């Protein structure tokens, strides 16, 4: 490979465009590097160093790249006329990894003449402008805003995977249920819209995990149950802890322990210390494990009501 071209490829992280190359070397140098196998064309006018491709010669070229490099290649090909969106933007927001062989998603304004390519899906939107505030830069990549990304991704994710990015985005304070609800309202024909709206309602009510949502829907609501306050901040000395489900009048906090918590001695020790601190301010902590909540829902409900009744009598 031409030494000047080699230096450019190295400084560019292994990815170059025809425009960038021909600014420093003649076009024949690029063509020669492609013929010798030093560079590989992955999209029109976009080339990568051959060593960046994985060892799957029969697979589409773009899918043989690390997902981050592939995303950069797609944006280089778009030349500012489109932005990463849908599942590709979801990966840039660190809410779901881009899986091997999964196509990249770009969204462009309706009048932009980008066509789908092997490994690249091009969506179009009437109201999109590829500039802030419609797009943001995340991990060095131009992507759709988070709320739009989540709504766009919802119908193309497998149904079992749809809730996790939404819950994580809210738990990580990247967005709020209210902002997501506004985004949903802009897409009237959204697939499985009712399920997303229900999920956002539960998150707005303070549920922060699939287990808490399940408990809300099947165990801890009804005419005989108090209205629990969720994710209640409680100051304990220099610490602030958050109570999963707090019955304020009875001074009872219900904690739901997920399946991953079971058998973790370190987490168990942390929980016991926290429960002891809450006991010093008169709060009884009652914990239910994932297995019991799911397999013995009626028993958990009866036990909860009995505990609450005892605390009321006292």
Q: Does the pLDDT at position 261 exceed 70? A: no
Pairwise CA distance, residues 244 & 224, whole Å: 19
E strands within 252-291? 252-257, 284-289
Neighbour order of strands in the sheet with 39-43: 15-17, 46-49, 39-43
Higher pLDDT, 29 or 271: 29
Check: CB of residue 128 under 8 Å from CB of residue 107: yes
| pLDDT tens digits for range 5-61 | 999 999 999 999 999 999 999 999 999 999 999 999 999 999 999 999 988 877 888
Q: Six-digit token pair at 29? A: 């140098």
3-state secondary structure 5-55: HHHHHHHCCCEEEHHHHHCCCCHHHHHHHHHCCCEEEEECCEEEEHHHCCC
Quick one: pLDDT band at residue 265, thresholds 50, 70, 90? confident
Q: Which residue, among 201, 76, 204, has the nearest Cα to 140 in the 3D structure? A: 76
- Give the list of residues 6+ apart from residue 214 with CB closer than 8 angstroms, or none: 293, 294
How high is the pLDDT of residue 264? 73
Pairwise CA distance, residues 105 & 94, whole Å: 15
What is the reported pTM? 0.87
List of domains in the chain: 3-52 (1.10.10), 62-144 (no CATH), 158-204 (no CATH), 210-313 (3.40.960.10)
Quick one: pLDDT band at residue 263, thresholds 50, 70, 90? low
Percent of the chain at pLDDT > 70 equals 97
Check: CB of residue 14 under 8 Å from CB of residue 49: yes
How high is the pLDDT of residue 184? 97
What is the rounded average pLDDT of the residues 257-269? 71
Q: Six-digit token pair at 154? A: 């919802």
């Amino acid at each position: 490979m031409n030494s000047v071209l080699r230096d450019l490829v190295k400084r560019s992280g292994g990815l170059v465009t025809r425009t960038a190359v021909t600014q420093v070397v003649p076009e024949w140098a690029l063509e020669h590097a492609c013929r010798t196998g030093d560079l590989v064309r992955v999209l029109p006018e976009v080339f990568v160093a051959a060593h960046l491709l994985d060892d799957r010669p029969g697979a589409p070229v773009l899918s043989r790249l690390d997902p981050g490099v592939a995303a950069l290649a797609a944006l280089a090909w778009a030349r500012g006329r489109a932005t990463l969106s849908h599942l590709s933007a979801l990966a840039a927001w660190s809410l779901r990894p881009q899986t091997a062989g999964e196509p990249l998603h770009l969204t462009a304004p309706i009048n932009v003449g980008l066509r789908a390519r092997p490994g690249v899906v091009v969506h179009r939107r009437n109201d999109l402008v590829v500039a802030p505030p419609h797009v943001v830069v995340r991990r060095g990549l131009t992507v759709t805003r988070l709320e739009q990304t989540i709504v766009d991704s919802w119908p193309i994710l497998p149904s079992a995977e749809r809730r996790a990015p939404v819950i994580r985005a809210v738990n990580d304070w990247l967005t709020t249920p209210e902002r997501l609800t506004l985004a949903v309202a802009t897409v009237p024909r959204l697939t499985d819209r009712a399920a997303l709206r229900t999920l956002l309602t539960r998150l707005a009510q303070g549920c922060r995990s699939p287990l808490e949502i399940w408990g809300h829907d099947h165990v801890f609501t009804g005419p005989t149950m108090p209205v629990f306050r969720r994710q209640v901040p409680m100051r304990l000395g220099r610490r602030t802890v958050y109570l999963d489900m707090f019955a304020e009048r009875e001074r009872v906090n219900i904690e739901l322990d997920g399946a991953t918590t079971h058998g973790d001695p370190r987490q168990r020790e942390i929980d016991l210390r926290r429960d002891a601190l809450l006991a010093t301010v008169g709060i009884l902590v009652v914990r239910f494990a994932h297995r019991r909540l799911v397999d013995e829902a009626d028993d958990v409900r009866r036990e909860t009501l009995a505990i609450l009744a005892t605390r009321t009598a006292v």
